[in-house]
Amino acid sequence: MTTMPLSRVFGAYLAEAGFETKRHLKAPAFAMPFLVIPVALYVFFTSLGGDPSQAPKPELQMPIRMFTGFSIMGVMGPALFAFGMAVAVDRDFGLLRLKRALPMPPMAYMLGKMVMAALFSALVMVSITTAALVKGLNLSVAQFLAVAAIGVVGTLPFAAIGLFIGAKVSGRTAPAWVNLAYIPMTYLSGLFFPVPEAIRGLALVSPAFHLNQLALQAAGVAAIMPATMHIAALLGVTVLFSGLAAWRVARMG
């Protein structure tokens, strides 16, 4: 029986990630709306409020909350939409079936998509950070870098959810399902305004809430829960959904 040296297995993962990246860069229209909309919204809303130092409750640190909120919204988009839908379409096209029959390393396709999602998130973070700098948001370089890093790594749980949806539904119905995850998650996580007391507990199950809290802590806003809990929740969501997606793809195509 032939075996494959680990270096070649690693090479296969790398090749798959490179291929996926190139593929999406060749069709940028697919992900473009998700790159542009959060930045545009961020600029729009931060321009509305006037001078932040005159805001009614400065202790809320609204400028920082706007920055992290739109950043998190920005990294959710490409991960959930572009990649969840791309997987659904690949499944419809029989491409996933073929890849499963070939000796592709089992997680290569998923990891390739995730690397791709992280790359798009990096683009989002660069553009929002630039906008924040232009708007004169008062954070240190280290804080900006930390928020950006959290945003990029924080793509993974959303990519995992996107992949799971993509692995479960057809290409035609994928956008509807993705919206069903995306819109409630955005609002229930307190990204832009406080969640009503009665349903605040729901935020605990939303990865967007946990990621936003991490970003806020990195930007110097007081923590409401220890960071390890947020990280554990995000890790759990990532493992759970990518595991479910991989299992689903491995068994059903």
Partner 1 sequence: MTTSVASSSERLHALDALRGFALICGVVLHAAMSYLPGFTVWPLLDRSPSTALAVTFYTIHMFRMTTFFVIAGFFGRLMLERRGVRAFVRNRATRIVVPLVVGWVVFFPLIVLAMWWGAGGQLGAPAGATAPPAPPALAFPLSHLWFLYVLTLIYAAVLPVHALVARVDAGGRLRRAADVMMRAALAGPWAPIVLGVPLIGAFLVSPWLLWSGIPTPDQSLIPNLPAAVGFSSAFAIGWLIHRQTPLLKTVERWWAPYLAMAVALTVACLAILGPDPAAQLSTAASSAPLYTVLYVAGVWSWTLGLTGAALRFFAAESATRRYVSDASYWIYLAHLPLVLALQAAMKDWPLHWALKFPLLLTVALVLLFASYHLLVRFTVIGEVLNGARRRRRPGDDAAPARALPPTADVLASLTGARKQFGTVTALDGLTLDVRAGELLAVLGPNGAGKSTAISLLLGLLQPDAGTATLFGRAPLDVESRYGVGVMMQEVTLAMEMTVREIVALTTNYYPAPMTADEAMALTHTTEFADRPYGKLSSGQKRQVQFAVAVCGRPSLLFLDEPTVGLDVQAREILWKTIRLLLSQGASIVLTTHYLEEAEALATRVAVLAKGRLVAMGTVDDIRGVVSRKKVSCLSVLAPEQVAGWASVDAVSHDGRRLHVVARDADDVVRRLLAADPSLRDLEVARAGLAEAFTEITQEAA
State which of residues 103, 138, 179, 183 lies at the interface with partner 1 (CB under 8 A): 103
State which of residues 29, 48, 102, 198 lies at the interface with partner 1 (CB under 8 A): 102
Do residues 207 and 109 make contact, with C-beta atoms less than 8 angstroms apart? no
Do residues 68 and 215 make contact, with C-beta atoms less than 8 angstroms apart? yes
Helix axes 62-77, 174-188, angle to 10 degrees: 160
- Residue 12-31 contact track with partner 1, rule CB under 8 A, x = bound: x--xx--x--xx--xx----
How far, CA to CA in Å, does 182 sit from each of 47, 110, 206, 210, 224? 25, 20, 10, 15, 24
State which of residues 49, 130, 179, 247 lies at the interface with partner 1 (CB under 8 A): 247
How many residues can be counted in the chain?
253
Phi, psi (5° rounding) for residue 242? Answer: -70, -35
* Site for partner 1, residues 82 to 101, rule: CB under 8 A: 93-95, 97-98, 100-101
Tokens in use for 162? 């996107």
Phi, psi (5° rounding) for residue 33? Answer: -55, -35
Size of the site for partner 1 (CB under 8 A): 46
From CA 193, how far away is CA 7, in angstroms rounded?
49
From CA 153, how far away is CA 184, in angstroms rounded?
22
* Site for partner 1, residues 201 to 220, rule: CB under 8 A: 204
Cβ at position 132, least distance to partner 1 in Å: 29
- Kindly tell me which of 12 and 36 has the beta carbon lying closer to partner 1: 12
Q: Is 235 in the site for partner 1 (CB under 8 A)?
A: yes
Binding segment for partner 1 (CB under 8 A), chosen from 34-42, 52-60, 63-71, 233-241, is 233-241
State which of residues 40, 60, 183, 250 lies at the interface with partner 1 (CB under 8 A): 250
Tokens in use for 1? 């029986």
- Kindly tell me which of 175 and 253 has the beta carbon lying closer to partner 1: 253
Residues near partner 1 (CB under 8 A) are 1-5, 8, 11-12, 15-16, 19, 22-23, 26-27, 93-95, 97-98, 100-106, 204, 224-226, 228-229, 232-233, 235-237, 239-240, 243-244, 247, 250-251, 253
